[in-house]
Amino acid sequence: MEAVKHFVEHVRAQTTRVVVGQREMLDQCVLALLCNGHILLEGVPGIAKTLSVKVLARILGLDFQRVQATSDLMPADILGTNVLNLPTSSFHLHRGPVFTDLLLMDEVNRMPPRTQAALLECMEERQVTIDGERHPLGPWFTVFATQNPVEFEGTYPLPEAQLDRFLLKVNVPYPSAADEQRLLAHAQEGFDSRDLSNLNLEALDRELLTNARREVQTGIQVEESLFDYIVALARRTREWPALSLGASPRATLSLLAASKAWAAMDDRDYVIPDDVKSVALPVLRHRVMLKPEAELEGHTPDHVLDDVLRAVEVPK
Give the span between the Cα atoms of 291 and 244, in whole angstroms: 5
Parent domain of 240: 220-311
pLDDT at res. 142:
95
Give the span between the Cα atoms of 246 and 234, in whole angstroms: 7
Helix, coil or strand: residue 96: coil
Same domain, 56 and 111: yes
pLDDT band at 192 (very low <50, low <70, confident <90, very high): confident
**Of 1 and 252, the one with more pLDDT:** 252
Most confident of 139-153, 183-197, 252-266: 252-266
Is residue 287 over pLDDT 80? yes
User: Are residues 264 and 215 in contact, defined by beta-carbon separation less than 8 angstroms?
Assistant: yes
CATH code of residue 56: 3.40.50.300
Mean pLDDT, the chain, as a whole number?
91
User: Are residues 133 and 141 in contact, defined by beta-carbon separation less than 8 angstroms?
Assistant: no
Is residue 108 over pLDDT 80? yes
Q: What is the pTM of this model?
A: 0.91
pLDDT at res. 273:
96
Q: What is the pLDDT of residues 242-258, one digit of tens each?
A: 999 999 999 999 999 99
Give the span between the Cα atoms of 278 and 125, in whole angstroms: 28
Percentage of the chain modeled with pLDDT above 90: 66
**Which of 212, 239, 259 is the last residue before a domain boundary?**
212
What mean pLDDT comes out for the span 164-169? 94
Same domain, 300 and 271: yes
Domain count, the chain: 2
